[in-house]
Amino acid sequence: MSDKIIEPSEIIVEDADPVRENPSHVNPWIRCVARFFDYALFFLCLMGLQRVFAISLGVGHLIPFEFVLWIPIESLLLCSVGTTPGKWFLRTKLKWGKKQKPDFKMALQRSFSVWMRGLGMGIPILSLLCPFFAYHKLKVLRITSWDRDQAITVTHYPIHRVRLGVAVFIAIVGTLFYYSNKGDIQYEVKKTFL
């Protein structure tokens, strides 16, 4: 018999890390909350700028102009710090192949694709259908079309319920507050210049 007995001291364990977080790669609701958390913060900043400088963004009744303005800002954040406030707050990481941060062109392509394919450009009927199809594809294929196109890996790390609750609150209240005051801001701007 040539069976060799291995002693426990001979077993080599590589990369033993007892404190390891369990990341998840598919979590459409966290992705959605992170995106609308970003939108809410941006909308509130935009509302402040509109009030301070008495400017009106009354264009784009079919396509909400605010979402278009966010695309280059999100792209700048992704290529400079690798994340957005919502992704950071909800512990969601993006990785472009082996790179942690994309260049501006790649980030712009992703932001534009999310706006177009994931949000339907904010156009009323499309903005209901596109998120539904994106959600379905993400659950079935475990990746969105815009992440697949650029070989992006999205990783969600565990978050506390309080953090998620704060993010949901900011996303909902911030967005509702902006849109409920949008008409008032445009009225004040028109009144100022007339």
pLDDT tens-digit series, residues 69-102: 999 999 999 999 999 999 999 999 999 988 889 9
Going by C-alpha positions, the residue among 162, 161, 157 that lies closest to residue 20 is 157
The pTM of the full predicted model, rounded to 2 decimals, is 0.79
What is the predicted pLDDT for the residue at 122?
Answer: 85
Q: Residue 53: its pLDDT value, please?
A: 81
Question: Beta strands 152-156 and 92-96: pairing type?
Answer: antiparallel
Determine the pLDDT at residue 19: 44
Residue from 67, 33, 72, 17 nearest 156 by CA: 33
Whether 126 and 139 have beta carbons less than 8 Å apart is answered as: no
Q: What pLDDT digit, counting tens, does each position of 155-174 carry?
A: 999 999 999 999 999 999 99
Query: Looking up tokens 């539904």, which residue turns up?
Result: 132
Note the pLDDT of residue 166. Answer: 98
In the prediction, which pLDDT does 157 show? 95
CB atoms within 10 A of CB 110: 23
Tell me which residue of 63, 65, 94 sits closest to 78, measured CA to CA: 94
Q: If you search the block for the tokens 């028109």, which residue do you land on?
A: 190
pLDDT of the residue at 26: 84
Contact 93, 166 (CB under 8 A): no
Check residue 81 and give its pLDDT: 95
Residues in the chain, pLDDT under 50: 16-20, 185-190, 192-194
